[in-house]
Amino acid sequence: MLKLGVNIDHVATLREARYKGVTGGAVPEPDPVWAAEIVELAGAHGITCHLREDRRHLQERDLRLLRQTCRTRIDLEMAPTPQMVRIALDVKPEVCCLVPENRQEVTTEGGLDVVGGFKHIAAVVKQLQAGGREVSLFIDPDPRQIQASAKTGAEFIELHTGTFCNATGAAAERELERLIRGAKLAHRLGLRVNAGHGINYQNIHRILLIPHLEELNIGHSIISRAIFAGLSQAVREMLTLMAGYRDRHGGSRGQR
C-alpha cells in the first residue's frame, strides 16, 4: 500500500504568523500537535515535520510533544547539522530525512547535494543509524545523486517532486520521466523510495505513475484543503486518490 505522511509544518506556520514571540495570554493556535492527532485518526500513515534552524514554524516543544503523542511514525526532516543530529538522537523519530536548508527560501527548494557533500552526509547517515534511526535523503531525481545516496548506506531516498509539480506541458513530461527513471534506478540499487514536495489533488494521478513508491509526504495542499473541507476530510480525500497505486505497480517492497 502506498503510504501517506502528512507534513504538519504548515499548521505551525499559521500559528507563528500570529503568535511568534507572544508570551502569556492567549493559547497559541492552531497547534500542530492537535493536527497530528486528527491526521492519524483520518488514516494517514505518518507525521512529517521539519525543525528548521530558524524555527520559523515547528518548535522543539512541538517535536517533543509529537514524540509522546504520535501513534504512527514521525519522519523528521532535518538539516545535516550537529545540533539537529543531537536533537534527532534524543527525540528518536522513526525516520530522519536529511534536507538542504537555506534561510532565504520559502520552502525546501532543491534536493540535497549528496555528491558534493558525500563525506559529511555519509558520516551523518552513520551517526543517525548508530542511534537506531532510519535515514532518508531528499534528492532530485538525478542519477549521480541517487548513486551517491546508495553509497551512503541510507535506507531511503525521497525523490523531490517539486520541479515536476511546478512544470507544465513538455517540461512536465520530461520531469515525470526523470522521476520514473530515478525511482527505477534507486530500486535497482536497493534503496526504498519515497517522494514529496508540491504534490496536490490535481497532480497526484501523475505522481502515481512513478514506480516503487513506498510513501508520499504531502503538506501544503492537504492543509490548504483543510481550511475549506476540514483536516480529516482533506486527509481522507487524498488517501482515496492514492488508493489505486498498488494495482498498477504490484505494491512496494518494504513495510514500516
List active site positions: 50, 77, 197
- For ligand PXP, the binding residues in 154-183 under the rule CB under 6 A are 158
Cα distances (angstroms) measured from residue 187 to each of 18, 34, 194: 44, 36, 11
What mask of x and - would describe binding to ligand PXP in positions 207 to 226, judged by CB under 6 A?
----------xxxxx-----
Q: How far is the CB of 26 from ligand PXP (least distance, A)?
A: 27
Q: What is the DSSP letter of 27?
A: P
Contact, 256 vs 94, CB < 8 A? yes
Q: C-alpha angle 238/94/58, rounded to 5°?
A: 70
Q: How far is the CB of 223 from ligand PXP (least distance, A)?
A: 8
Binds ligand PXP by CB under 6 A, chosen from 4, 8, 9, 146: 9
Binds ligand PXP by CB under 6 A, chosen from 40, 62, 77, 101: 77
SS (H, E, C) 122-182: HHHHHHHHHCCCEEEEEECCCHHHHHHHHHHCCCEEEEECHHHHHCCHHHHHHHHHHHHHH
Q: How far is the CB of 216 from ligand PXP (least distance, A)?
A: 8
Q: How far is the CB of 158 from ligand PXP (least distance, A)?
A: 5
Q: Does 99 bind ligand PXP (CB under 6 A)?
A: yes
Q: How far is the CB of 88 from ligand PXP (least distance, A)?
A: 15
Pick the closer one to ligand PXP by CB: 50 or 212: 50
Binds ligand PXP by CB under 6 A, chosen from 12, 47, 196, 252: 196
Pick the closer one to ligand PXP by CB: 220 or 236: 220
Rounded Cα–Cα distance for residues 96 and 136 (Å)? 6
- For ligand PXP, the binding residues in 15-34 under the rule CB under 6 A are none
Rounded Cα–Cα distance for residues 244 and 228 (Å)? 25
Q: What is the DSSP string of 224-246?
A: HHHHHH-HHHHHHHHHHHHTTHH
Among 149-157, 167-175, 181-189, 193-201, the segment contacting ligand PXP (CB under 6 A): 193-201
Contact, 137 vs 121, CB < 8 A? yes
Determine phi and psi for 46, rounding to 5 degrees. Answer: -170, 165
- List of residues contacting ligand PXP (CB under 6 A): 7, 9, 50, 77, 97, 99, 107-108, 138, 158, 196-199, 217-221
